[in-house]
Amino acid sequence: MVWGSVTAEDLFNALHEVEWSSPSRSILEFFSRFTVPRSYSKWSSQLKCNLYYYITNYFILMFFVLAVGFLLKPLAVVAAFLTGLSNTFLNYRNLMVKQDLSELSFRNAITDLSEKPLIPPLR
């Protein structure tokens, strides 16, 4: 597979097909070849490849970081989650004018968000 031609949509579709019960890769393999790519295209390609290949490891790492953060500063983790949630819903005018946000499903909200950019382009 040529990772440079993979789009974000292809990656999300592939993530839906991932067998999440597959065992994770070894920790030594996960951290052994860590290098920073020199160009943006290589960086993008390597990110897509690593995300697909080490998806279970990234999930475990994310869970571990959130668990440690929750144990050390539970209020900070809850505050970060609520900040992200409020940022998602309150910064978009098309969601603010809706009378009842509880009627919106998450999928509809994300579709609405993707239609209008938050920040206008610089000129």
pLDDT at residue 1, as a whole number: 53
Number of H helices, E strands in the chain: 7, 0
From the first residue on, what is the mean pLDDT of each consecutive set of 10 residues in the chain (123 residues)?
65 68 67 71 76 77 87 88 80 52 54 56 57
Are the CB atoms for 11 and 52 separated by under 8 Å?
A: yes
Rounded to the nearest 10 degrees, the angle between the axes of helix 55-72 and helix 74-90 is 120
Q: Angle 64-85-21 (CA atoms, 0-180°, nearest 5)?
A: 40
pLDDT at residue 83, as a whole number: 87
Structure tokens of 47?
Answer: 């990110």
Q: Is 44 exposed, middle or buried (0-12, 13-18, 19+ CB in 10 A)?
A: middle
d(CA 55, CA 48): 10
Q: Within 10 Å of residue 48's Cβ, how many Cβ atoms?
A: 20
pLDDT at residue 107, as a whole number: 52
pLDDT at residue 99, as a whole number: 46
Instruction: Write the CB contacts of 93 (distance below 8 Å, at least 6 apart in sequence).
Output: 116
> What residue type is assigned to position 9 of the chain?
E
